């Protein structure tokens, strides 16, 4: 069984694109983008650290699914999650149906963590990181709400946080 002493995390996004530019007399030079965002944490509760990890495949069924990071969730070892900060979260909408989007902390959401709000289209992913200050979890801001509207949508979620 892993302990918190074993926890390191990395959130990485790589963007690679090449567009070949055509001209009248040659194929032209390519326009290339090659950029990587990478943030890592080591074990702990101060800046750039995390001591908790959560991951799950979940089903939201025509109602908001509330991810409460102060109570109600357990990690892979069955330990209750009671976090003070969320360092990062990634949510993937696994649907391939064009009308099945997920709303994150949309209007009417209960006690959302401040600053986390978006719509994830089918096949899309939402990633937000706060490795230094994180997102504060307290009595009124303790959850992320995932709402499928009238649909039933399977989604994947990964998150890291701190207990202090």
What's the pLDDT tens digit per position in 55-72?
Answer: 999 999 988 899 999 988
Determine, yes or no, domain membership for 100. yes
pLDDT category at 24 given cuts 50, 70, 90 is low
Distance of CA 2 to the CA centre of its chain: 22
Helix (H, G, I), strand (E, B) or coil at 6: helix
Determine, yes or no, domain membership for 4. no
Determine, yes or no, domain membership for 32. no
Find the mean pLDDT for residues 103-126: 80
42 has which bridge partners? 49
Determine, yes or no, domain membership for 34. no
Tell me which residue of 99, 117, 116, 104 sits closest to 66, measured CA to CA. Answer: 104
Determine, yes or no, domain membership for 110. yes
For 131, the domain range is: 43-162
CB 104 within 8 A of CB 126: yes
Report how many domains make up the chain: 1
CA angle 96/98/103 to nearest 5° reads: 90
Average pLDDT, the chain: 88
CB 157 within 8 A of CB 81: no
CATH number reported for the structural domain that contains residue 118 in this entry: 2.60.120.770
Return the percentage of the chain with pLDDT > 90, whole number: 65
**CA 105 to CA 76: how far, in whole Å?**
25
pLDDT category at 2 given cuts 50, 70, 90 is very low
């Amino acid at each position: 069984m892993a302990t918190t002493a074993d926890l390191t995390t990395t959130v990485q996004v790589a963007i690679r694109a090449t567009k070949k530019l055509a001209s009248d007399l040659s194929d032209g030079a390519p326009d290339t983008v090659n950029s990587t965002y990478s943030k890592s944490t080591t074990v702990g509760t101060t800046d750039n650290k995390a001591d908790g990890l959560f991951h799950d495949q979940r089903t939201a069924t025509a109602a908001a699914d509330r991810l409460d990071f102060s109570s109600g969730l357990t990690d892979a070892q069955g330990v209750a999650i009671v976090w003070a900060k969320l360092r990062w979260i990634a949510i993937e909408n696994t649907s391939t149906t064009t009308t099945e989007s997920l709303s994150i902390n949309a209007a009417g959401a209960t006690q959302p963590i401040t600053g986390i709000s978006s719509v994830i289209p089918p096949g899309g992913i939402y990633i937000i990181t706060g490795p230094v200050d994180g997102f504060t979890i307290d009595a009124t801001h303790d959850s992320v709400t995932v709402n499928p509207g009238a649909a039933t949508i399977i989604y994947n979620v990964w998150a890291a946080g701190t207990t202090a």
